[in-house]
Amino acid sequence: MNHDIKDLTLAGKGNDRIEWAAQSMPVLELIKQRFSEEKPLKGIRLGLCLHVTTETASLCRTLKVGGAEVFLCASNPLSTQDDVAAALVKTDKIPVFAIKGEDNTVYYQHITSVLDAKPQITMDDGADLLSTLHTKRPELLSQVIGGTEETTTGVIRLKAMAQDQALKYPVIAVNDAMTKHLFDNRYGTGQSTLDGIIRATNRLIAGSNFVVAGYGWCGRGVARRAAGLGGRVIVTEIDPLKALEALMDGYEVMPMAQAAKIGDFFVTLTGNINVIRPEHFKVMKSGAIVCNSGHFNVELDLPGLAQISNHRREIREFVEEFTLKENGHKIYILGEGRLINLAAAEGHPSSVMDMSFANQALAAEYVLKNKGQLPLKVFPVPEKMDHEIARLKLQAMGYKTDKLTKEQVKYLGSWDAGT
Ligand code: NAD
Ligand code: ADE
Task: Return the ligand number nearest the Cα of 154.
Answer: 1
Angstrom distance (rounded) from CA 12 to CA 378: 39
Q: How confident is the model at residue 419 (pLDDT cuts 50, 70, 90)?
A: confident
Percent of the residues in the chain that have a pLDDT greater than 70, as a whole number: 100
Q: Is the dihedral of CA 120, 121, 123, 129 positive or negative?
A: positive
376 and 307, same structural domain? no
* Average pLDDT of the segment spanning 45-61: 98
Angstrom distance (rounded) from CA 110 to CA 143: 20
Angstrom distance (rounded) from CA 257 to CA 282: 10
Could you report the per-residue pLDDT of 306-337, keeping only the tens digit for each? 999 999 999 999 999 999 999 999 999 999 99
CB of 152 within 6 A of ligand 1: the answer is: yes
Inform me whether the pLDDT recorded for 236 exceeds 90: yes
157 and 35, same structural domain? yes
334 and 372, same structural domain? no
CATH of the domain at 32: 3.40.50.1480
Q: Is residue 138 part of a domain?
A: yes
Domain-ending residue, one of 279, 314, 343? 343
200 and 94, same structural domain? no
CB of 51 within 6 A of ligand 2: the answer is: yes
Angstrom distance (rounded) from CA 167 to CA 268: 29
Q: Is residue 2 part of a domain?
A: no
159 and 254, same structural domain? no
* Average pLDDT of the segment spanning 57-78: 98
338 and 358, same structural domain? no
Q: Is residue 103 part of a domain?
A: yes
Q: What pLDDT sits at residue 418?
A: 86
Helix (H) or strand (E) holding 82: helix 82-90
* Average pLDDT of the segment spanning 230-244: 98
AA letter at 283: V
Could you report the per-residue pLDDT of 73-85, keeping only the tens digit for each? 999 999 999 999 9
Inform me whether the pLDDT recorded for 417 exceeds 90: no
307 and 328, same structural domain? yes
* Average pLDDT of the segment spanning 297-303: 98
Q: Are 109 and 33 in contact (CB under 8 A)?
A: no
Using the mean position of ligand 2's atoms as its centre, give its distance from the Cα of residue 347 in Å. 5
* Average pLDDT of the segment spanning 58-66: 98
Task: Return the ligand number nearest the Cα of 294.
Answer: 1
Q: Is residue 261 part of a domain?
A: yes
CATH of the domain at 313: 3.40.50.720
CB of 17 within 6 A of ligand 2: the answer is: no
Q: Is residue 151 part of a domain?
A: yes
Q: How confident is the model at residue 407 (pLDDT cuts 50, 70, 90)?
A: very high
Burial class (CB in 10 A: 0-12, 13-18, 19+), 203: middle
- Terminal-residue alpha carbon distance, the chain: 71
Domain-ending residue, one of 319, 343, 367? 343
Q: Is residue 252 part of a domain?
A: yes
50 and 36, same structural domain? yes
Look over the chain and give the mean of its residue pLDDT values, rounded to a whole number.
98
124 and 49, same structural domain? yes
Could you report the per-residue pLDDT of 203-213, keeping only the tens digit for each? 999 999 999 99
Q: Is residue 174 part of a domain?
A: yes
249 and 163, same structural domain? no
- Per-residue CA distances from 30 to 124, 184, 220, 355, 358 (Å): 23, 19, 31, 12, 9
Tell whether pTM > 0.75. Answer: yes
DSSP state of 123: E
317 and 277, same structural domain? yes
Domain count, the chain: 2
Could you report the per-residue pLDDT of 280-293, keeping only the tens digit for each? 999 999 999 999 99
Inform me whether the pLDDT recorded for 227 exceeds 90: yes
* Average pLDDT of the segment spanning 150-177: 98
193 and 279, same structural domain? yes
Q: What pLDDT sits at residue 394?
A: 97
Domain that holds residue 361: 8-180+348-397
CB of 352 within 6 A of ligand 1: the answer is: no
Q: Is the dihedral of CA 72, 349, 320, 253 positive or negative?
A: positive
Domain-ending residue, one of 298, 321, 343? 343
Strand partners for 334: 319
CB of 113 within 6 A of ligand 2: the answer is: no
Task: Return the ligand number nearest the Cα of 269.
Answer: 1
* Average pLDDT of the segment spanning 260-274: 98
Q: Is residue 168 part of a domain?
A: yes
Using the mean position of ligand 2's atoms as its centre, give its distance from the Cα of residue 383 in Å. 23
